[in-house]
């Protein structure tokens, strides 16, 4: 099976960290080519620093991290330090990154990466969808070279930031509207799926003894935390869609009503989303466990694939 070419758009974020490390730890299935950050759980500069920290932890210094939008299209910023901690990575201690972010804003970087790719690209949307919506607005042609946009968000049974909406969708409902109507396949990982991904203390304790940096880090990060591995569901779907119960439906998102802002509604018509409502929990944790026990050797940094680099970057290669 061909490896999935992947752009991860993220706001790390504790569950983003698990998602990124799961992707990095599954190199036979995923080819993480670029990370883009967006303001969400914490301000974008912290998200970028955390993404760089996670690349270093996973020994993926070859992955470019482009910083993106600091705020949503129309909504005010809504950082949730009380959930993800002052750094965005809870109480876990990772050193300051030695890597620097790549030059250039995330949105043109996404456009260029997708246009230049010789194979279709999958986007993992782990955050408010602002960067992705702007890329699709600036360059609608890229939708033809997108395999799928797999996004964390949506619920028909209550929200986690309001009684009606999930955090990512509530943070930028207009971006969700753009993505839903972009023409590329869209997959939603619902809150119902996310709530099935709360790790057992015994599983975390076992992971702590794994003698692998990613596993030890996640075990430390989740010590005493009631949170679920929400964003990891996106990566799990990309790794193995058979883990999920899905239905092809048409949805729209509330963009006007202040109380119900970001709520999705099922409507009649041709489907515009594959909606995941349940996951094989045991299979999911087996996958995450294997990925967090993966360790990349220090000398295995791959030469970057020139198909995802800009012309100037290609020209600058040795």
Q: Which residues bind Ca ion (CB under 5 A)?
A: 11, 13, 16, 126-127, 231
Provide the minimum distance between the beta carbon of 169 and Ca ion in the complex, in angstroms, as a whole number: 12
101 versus 126: smaller Cβ distance to Ca ion: 126
65 versus 249: smaller Cβ distance to Ca ion: 65
Provide the minimum distance between the beta carbon of 47 and Ca ion in the complex, in angstroms, as a whole number: 9
Provide the minimum distance between the beta carbon of 24 and Ca ion in the complex, in angstroms, as a whole number: 16
Provide the minimum distance between the beta carbon of 92 and Ca ion in the complex, in angstroms, as a whole number: 16
Q: CB burial class (10 A; 0-12, 13-18, 19+) of residue 224?
A: exposed
106 versus 249: smaller Cβ distance to Ca ion: 106
236 versus 309: smaller Cβ distance to Ca ion: 236
222 versus 249: smaller Cβ distance to Ca ion: 222
Provide the minimum distance between the beta carbon of 219 and Ca ion in the complex, in angstroms, as a whole number: 20
- How far is it, in rounded angstroms, from Cα 80 to Cα 98? 26
């Amino acid at each position: 099976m061909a490896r999935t070419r992947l752009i991860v758009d993220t706001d790390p974020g504790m569950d983003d960290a698990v998602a990124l490390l799961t992707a990095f730890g599954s190199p036979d299935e995923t080819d993480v080519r670029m990370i883009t950050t967006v303001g969400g759980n914490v301000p974008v500069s912290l998200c970028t620093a955390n993404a760089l920290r996670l690349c270093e932890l996973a020994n993926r210094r070859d992955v470019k991290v482009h910083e993106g939008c600091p705020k949503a299209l129309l909504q005010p910023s809504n950082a949730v330090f009380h959930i993800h901690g002052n750094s965005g990575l809870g109480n876990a201690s990772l050193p300051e990154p030695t890597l620097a972010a790549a030059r250039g804003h995330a949105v043109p970087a996404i456009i260029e990466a997708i246009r230049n790719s010789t194979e279709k690209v999958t986007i993992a949307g782990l955050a408010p969808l602002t960067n992705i919506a702007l890329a699709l607005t600036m360059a609608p042609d890229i939708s033809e070279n997108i395999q799928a946009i797999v996004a964390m968000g949506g619920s028909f049974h209550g929200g986690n930031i309001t009684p009606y909406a999930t955090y990512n969708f509530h943070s930028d409902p207009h971006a969700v509207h753009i993505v839903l109507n972009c023409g590329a396949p869209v997959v939603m990982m619902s809150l119902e799926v996310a709530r099935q991904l709360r790790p057992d203390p015994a599983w975390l304790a076992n992971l702590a003894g794994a003698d692998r940096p990613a596993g030890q880090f996640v075990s430390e990060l989740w010590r005493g935390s009631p949170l679920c591995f929400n964003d990891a569901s996106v990566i799990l779907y990309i790794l193995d869609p058979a883990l999920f119960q899905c239905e092809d439906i048409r949805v729209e998102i509330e963009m006007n009503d202040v109380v119900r802002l970001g709520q999705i509604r099922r409507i009649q018509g041709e489907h515009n989303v594959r909606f995941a409502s349940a996951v094989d929990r045991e299979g999911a944790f087996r996958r995450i466990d294997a990925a967090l026990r993966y360790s990349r050797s220090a000398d295995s940094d791959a030469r970057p694939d020139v198909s995802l680099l800009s012309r100037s970057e290609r020209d600058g290669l040795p």
